[in-house]
Amino acid sequence: MINKLITKIQKTNAPIVVGLDPMLNYIPKQIQKRAFDEYGETLEGAAEAIWQYNKEIVDAVYDLIPAVKPQIAMYEQFGIEGLKAFKKTIDYCKQKDLVVIGDIKRGDIGSTSEAYAIGHLGKVTIGSKTCRGFDEDFVTVNPYLGTDGIKPFIDVCKSEKKGLFILVKTSNQSSGEFQDRFIDGKPLYEYVGEKVAEWGADCMGDSYSYIGAVVGATYPEMGKVLRKVMPKSFILVPGYGAQGGKASDLLPYFNEDGLGAIINSSRGIIAAYKQEAYAQFGDASFADASRQAVLDMIKDINEAIGK
Amino acid sequence: MINKLITKIQKTNAPIVVGLDPMLNYIPKQIQKRAFDEYGETLEGAAEAIWQYNKEIVDAVYDLIPAVKPQIAMYEQFGIEGLKAFKKTIDYCKQKDLVVIGDIKRGDIGSTSEAYAIGHLGKVTIGSKTCRGFDEDFVTVNPYLGTDGIKPFIDVCKSEKKGLFILVKTSNQSSGEFQDRFIDGKPLYEYVGEKVAEWGADCMGDSYSYIGAVVGATYPEMGKVLRKVMPKSFILVPGYGAQGGKASDLLPYFNEDGLGAIINSSRGIIAAYKQEAYAQFGDASFADASRQAVLDMIKDINEAIGK
């Protein structure tokens, strides 16, 4: 799957991923109204609104981008109904040949991590059959529990040819509270980065490992160090745009081959029509605004990394 | 909710929680057969088997215990259908007046943590209405992203009178890889413990904070230190029984008032009938075996803590 991701990045010339993190207040009123008219102001109604919103955005941008990253929390807040919209979104994006990165940030002790890995990347045995749960292509994983929390995810990736992005340095303001603490002269995130490189070493695709890392766009100095610590790991970079990360900060996340990083934008794309710059599209053409925002983001990033 | 948990612990004289972490291979063949006959060897069939299994166990033990802890991964591995069984289990346990601790180990940046908090503990606004997603009483949370990943959970707990158990030191073998790293002469888990105490200080129930911690039974020396670092935090202790934690190691997790800790057992209770000690119950009476295992666990722990 890492090879497919890279091929698609090269084909689209777009090292970006669109975060499908819908909030009800992003969704144009006409879509909410149609959904609520049919299902009421219920969890089901909210899930229907999210699904219709996602579908229009995906239809408008799928040919421009290699991948999407649905953030499961935004669906999980609507319980079972929300998770049905999550699953529908995954399946639809895969039909459109997009690589799907499930932003699930799971992580637990061994046997429990195995259950998450099976549910999101693999297949579960039921009697004499096997079935698939959510079936993303990549997922994000939290490393706080150490190797035996990560290993089951890696094992499933090996057999399924899928991949991970492990949290190393997150984009949020208080990420430093624990991640930046110094241990024998090095911050914790660097130790985690070293582990990611170690875990990824025998999980190689053609040129990159399928065990990648998450490093926030908001910390470019750390991105520079971590790029060197994990030369063969793809880096998923959240925090561009709405969270404050600038394109000019992104160069250190890439390798000299122009690869090695994929930049996420969520709100900046899916709620583009709410920004002044795209206000001319209006509510009805919100998906066209998203398309324009994708084109602008690709240009912005390619200029910054000199492509 | 922390007051309710404590009252129920005192009433049952059982500082324990039963982990509802079903694996298909724990479930007696007759239950699997009935479910598969009705729904096939499908995700739906597996979910039905899990639900029937949980229900029998809860019916057999609910009067002996204060709380249950369903591990969401074990349901999530069966996708949407599995999560329906998770939700059914929560609702059923609440009907039985059990405190429900959702073992979800979520944690993300602020706005995303807020969505998880709303989905699992709070209510979500949909148009002019509010609805509840999973609606547990407590959840477990991962601290790797720092304060702004935890704060939204605390805010929802405040308004809903619910609670958290934050991962401090987990029970697994490689938990030390990051959690035990020394920073200025103190291990990381101790810093996290200090933060838990700080976060919990203005979240007090009558005698304990509703912001608690997870500390594995497999590390009693660390439990002793952490008990002092977080005197007002309830400690959820996994790792007793199947994972190797012994009752004699549990004393340091409790305060002098005999409170302050709640010990989890999952496999040791729900799959008791598979152990030699309870083999006489047989497959058909698996729930009676679970009841006996609960009685034995309560005795074992109370003897060890001198109650």
SS3 call for B249: helix
Q: Tell me how far apart the alpha carbons of residues B287 and B54 are, in angstroms, rounded to a whole number.
A: 9
Instruction: Quote helix, strand, coil % in chain B, to nearest 5.
Output: 50, 20, 30
CB contact under 8 A, A76 and B133: yes
Catalytic residue flag (residue B195): no
Query: Using alpha carbons only, what angle is made at residue A47 by residues A42 and A69, rounded to the nearest 5 degrees?
Result: 150
Q: Both tokens of residue A8?
A: 């698609």
Q: Is B306 on the interface with A (CB under 8 A)?
A: no
Q: Is B194 on the interface with A (CB under 8 A)?
A: no
Q: Nearest C-alpha of chain B: how many angstroms from A102?
A: 13
Chain A residues with CB under 8 Å of B134 CB are 76, 79
Chain A window 39-78: which residues touch B at a Cβ cutoff of 8 Å? 41-43, 45-46, 71, 73-74, 76-78
Please report the pLDDT score of residue B198 as a whole number. 97
Q: Does domain B2-304 have CATH number 1.10.10.10?
A: no
- Of residues B76, B129, B142, nearest to A142 (C-beta): B142
Q: Tell me how far apart the alpha carbons of residues B31 and B49 are, in angstroms, rounded to a whole number.
A: 6
A183, closest residue in chain B (CA to CA): B183
Please report the pLDDT score of residue A264 as a whole number. 97
- Of residues B87, B173, B188, nearest to A148 (C-beta): B173
Chain A residues with CB under 8 Å of B167 CB are 144-145
Q: Chain A to chain B, count of Cβ pairs less than 8 Å apart?
A: 222
Chain B window 144-173: which residues touch A at a Cβ cutoff of 8 Å? 144-149, 167, 170-173
Domain coordinates in residue numbering, chain A: 2-300
CB contact under 8 A, A126 and B45: yes
Architecture of domain A2-300: Alpha-Beta Barrel (3.20)
B140, closest residue in chain A (CA to CA): A108
Tell me how far CA of residue A302 lies from CA of A278, A296, B288, B296, in angstroms: 21, 10, 65, 65
Q: Is B258 on the interface with A (CB under 8 A)?
A: no
| End-to-end CA gap in chain B | 24
Tell me how far CA of residue B93 lies from CA of A74, B52, B61, B100, B168, in angstroms: 26, 13, 11, 7, 27
Please report the pLDDT score of residue A230 as a whole number. 97
What pLDDT digit, counting tens, does each position of B238-269 carry? 989 877 778 889 999 999 999 999 999 999 99
Catalytic hit among B87, B94, B96, B105: B105
- Residue pair B158/B175 in contact (Cβ under 8 Å)? The answer is no
Chain A residues with CB under 8 Å of B267 CB are none
A188, closest residue in chain B (CA to CA): B178
Residue whose token pair is 């991701």: A5
Mutate to test the interface with B, among A126, A166, A266 (most CBs of B within 10 A): A126
Q: Nearest C-alpha of chain A: how many angstroms from B302?
A: 27
- Of residues B105, B126, B127, nearest to A108 (C-beta): B105
B238, closest residue in chain A (CA to CA): A109
CB contact under 8 A, A119 and B87: no
CB contact under 8 A, A174 and B142: no
Chain A residues with CB under 8 Å of B173 CB are 148
Mean pLDDT for chain B overall:
96
CB contact under 8 A, A115 and B73: yes
Instruction: Work out the average pLDDT over B79-98.
Output: 98
Catalytic hit among A4, A88, A94, A105: A105
- Residue pair B102/B67 in contact (Cβ under 8 Å)? The answer is no
CB contact under 8 A, A177 and B195: yes
What pLDDT digit, counting tens, does each position of B271-307 carry? 999 999 999 999 999 999 999 999 999 999 999 998 7
Query: CB neighbours (10 Å) of residue B285?
Result: 17
CB contact under 8 A, B133 and A78: yes
pLDDT by residue for chain A (307 residues), tens only, comes to 999 999 999 999 999 999 999 999 999 999 999 999 999 999 999 999 999 999 999 999 999 999 999 999 999 999 999 999 999 999 999 999 999 999 999 999 989 999 999 999 999 999 999 999 999 999 999 999 899 999 999 999 999 999 999 999 999 889 998 899 898 889 999 999 999 999 999 999 999 999 999 999 999 999 999 999 999 999 999 989 877 778 889 999 999 999 999 999 999 999 999 999 999 999 999 999 999 999 999 999 999 998 7
The answer on pLDDT for B221 being more than 80 is yes
| End-to-end CA gap in chain A | 24
Q: Is B106 on the interface with A (CB under 8 A)?
A: yes
Q: Both tokens of residue B217?
A: 């039974």
Chain B residues with CB under 8 Å of A24 CB are 125-126
Strands (E), chain A: 16-20, 67-70, 99-106, 124-126, 129-131, 138-141, 163-169, 182-183, 186-187, 209-215, 233-237, 261-265
What pLDDT digit, counting tens, does each position of B37-52 carry? 999 999 999 999 999 9
Please report the pLDDT score of residue A3 as a whole number. 96
Chain B window 17-36: which residues touch A at a Cβ cutoff of 8 Å? 21, 24, 32, 36
State which amino acid sits at residue A170. T
Q: Tell me how far apart the alpha carbons of residues B281 and B271 are, in angstroms, rounded to a whole number.
A: 12
Chain A residues with CB under 8 Å of B113 CB are 73
- CA A108 from chain centre, in angstroms, equals 20
- Residue pair B75/B23 in contact (Cβ under 8 Å)? The answer is no
Q: Tell me how far apart the alpha carbons of residues B285 and B288 are, in angstroms, rounded to a whole number.
A: 5
Please report the pLDDT score of residue B245 as a whole number. 78
User: ipTM of the assembly?
Assistant: 0.96
Chain B window 83-102: which residues touch A at a Cβ cutoff of 8 Å? 83-84, 87
Q: Is A290 on the interface with B (CB under 8 A)?
A: no
